[in-house]
Amino acid sequence: MMGGGGVQFLITIIIAWVLFSLVVAAIPLRMEVEYRKHADDDRLTMVLRAWPGVWGYKLEVPVIQWNWEDWLPYLRMEAATETSTGQSLTKHEVKVKKVPPLPLGIVTKISGLFKAGLDILRINRWFYRNIRCHRLKWVTEVGLEDAAATGMFIGGLWVLKGWVFANLQRTVKVEFSRPEFEVIPSFAETKLNLGFNCIFAIRAGHIMLMGLRTFWILIKAVVGQRG
């Protein structure tokens, strides 16, 4: 049996762990995302800070290149046209995108985890409501070959930016009344320059609780599948 000293030591460890968890849960995390595109200069920067001046992490991607061509497998075919004597006239290469079908077992498991997915979505909505947005800046400079097309594109951009801000207000807590939106038309030359900056804040405790609740839902779903 554990003596009185051992019980006191165990209680002290538990209290210390609880206090440490509360301190960690109360840590405010601040994340800043910035994207800049000017001519050929593409740059994405993400900065995560906890207690400014104490701890921080910065990730910078100097060049962003999207190559969608290699994301999906494709079927490669070659077709040739020949004369009656066998002389080659033309030759064409065709790439047909094809997504491989999922095995039946995987489809069954996915359908079985559908309820767990809905539960996680509900948790996500709770999680997002605890995120505070402190800044949203989005500057776009655009110019097309035709002035009328430029005007129509600018109108569409304003509609898009308004839609983004409205959805942001419904999803997270916005700490400002108006975002910093700007659209600059360029009728002299064809260009597309972007400047985007947003700052979000959340406490570490909300992230911890989100992770624990998600983990518990997944454990129940896996156990239910095996049972």
Q: What whole-number distance in Å separates Cα of residue 181 and Cα of residue 50? A: 28
78: which DSSP letter? E
Q: Residue 15 is encoded by which pair of tokens?
A: 């209290």
Q: What is the pLDDT along the chain (227 residues), one digit of tens a residue?
A: 555 666 787 888 888 888 887 887 888 889 999 999 887 778 888 888 886 666 677 777 765 554 445 544 444 444 444 444 444 444 444 444 455 555 545 555 555 566 777 777 888 888 889 999 999 999 999 998 888 888 899 999 999 999 999 999 999 999 998 999 999 998 888 888 999 999 999 998 888 888 888 888 888 777 766 65
**How many CA atoms within 13 Å lie on the side-chain side of 105?**
0
Q: What whole-number distance in Å separates Cα of residue 113 and Cα of residue 31? A: 32
Q: What whole-number distance in Å separates Cα of residue 64 and Cα of residue 170? A: 30
Cα torsion 204, 209, 210, 212: sign: positive
Residue extents of the structural domains in the chain: 29-66+101-226
User: Is-contact 102 167, C-beta < 8 A?
Assistant: no
> Residue 53: which H helix or E strand, with range?
none
Q: What is the pLDDT of residue 5?
A: 66
Q: What is the pLDDT of residue 218?
A: 80
Q: In one letter, which amino acid is 88?
A: S
pTM: 0.65
Residue whose C-alpha is closest to residue 33's, from 43, 49, 41, 45: 45
